[in-house]
Amino acid sequence: MQGAEKGQSARLDGRDLRIGIVQARFNDALTSRMAQVCTDELLALGVARKHIQHVTVPGALEVPVALQAMADSERFDALVALGLVIRGETYHFELVSNESGAGVTRVSLDHHIPVANAILTVENEAQALARVEEKSRDAARVAVEMANLLDELL
């Protein structure tokens, strides 16, 4: 929910973390903004620019396969999925939303790596504009927090 109380974050120290970002290019003006905001937040959290790898894919359905390749490489402490699916006139919106979300979750669970899912699913461009920056910052923070948590637990 927009503006929801998120509680107090745990350890948000990004030093020594390696983060991979996969950005869907569909709705490129907004997803490129998401990538910039996410990267800026990772840098603010202490992640070194050289430890951030950003790749792009055609759309939200392709995000999970790129995440999977990054997870397979075992070079990353956490991953971020960025994309934007805006409802259209057909069932395709539900298919893309559901399948991309399920694919992102599967990568995380199968590889035991945190994946911050910031593939936005919205009704219209106004909703997207209202969420792009906050969700992108949130994704960076989730990636760092979860990477640190898993490091402590494993």
Strands 52-57 and 115-122: unpaired
Q: What is the pLDDT of residue 33?
A: 98
Amino acid letter at 74?
E
d(CA 91, CA 26): 17
pLDDT in tens, 64-109: 999 999 999 999 999 999 999 999 888 788 999 999 999 999 999 9
Q: What is the pLDDT of residue 6?
A: 62
pLDDT at 135 over 80: yes
Per DSSP, which regions of the chain are E strands? Answer: 19-24, 52-57, 78-86, 115-122
Sheet hosting strand 52-57, strand order edge to edge: 52-57, 19-24, 78-86, 115-122
Q: What is the pLDDT of residue 154?
A: 85
pLDDT at 2 over 80: no
Q: What is the pLDDT of residue 125?
A: 95
pLDDT at 1 over 70: no
Active site residue 51: no
51, 54, 92, 112: the active-site residue: 92
**For residue 8, with 0-12 CB atoms within 10 Å meaning exposed, 13-18 middle and 19 or more buried, which class applies?**
exposed
Q: Which residues pair with 120 in a beta bridge?
A: 84
Q: What is the pLDDT of residue 9?
A: 64
d(CA 69, CA 113): 12
d(CA 2, CA 107): 26
Q: Answer yes or no: are the C-beta atoms of 22 and 80 closer than 8 Å.
A: yes
Q: Which residues contact 84 (CB under 8 A, 6 or more apart)?
A: 24, 26, 27, 30, 31, 34, 60, 119, 120, 122, 128, 132
If we measure between CA atoms, which residue out of 154, 132, 137 comes closest to residue 6?
Answer: 137
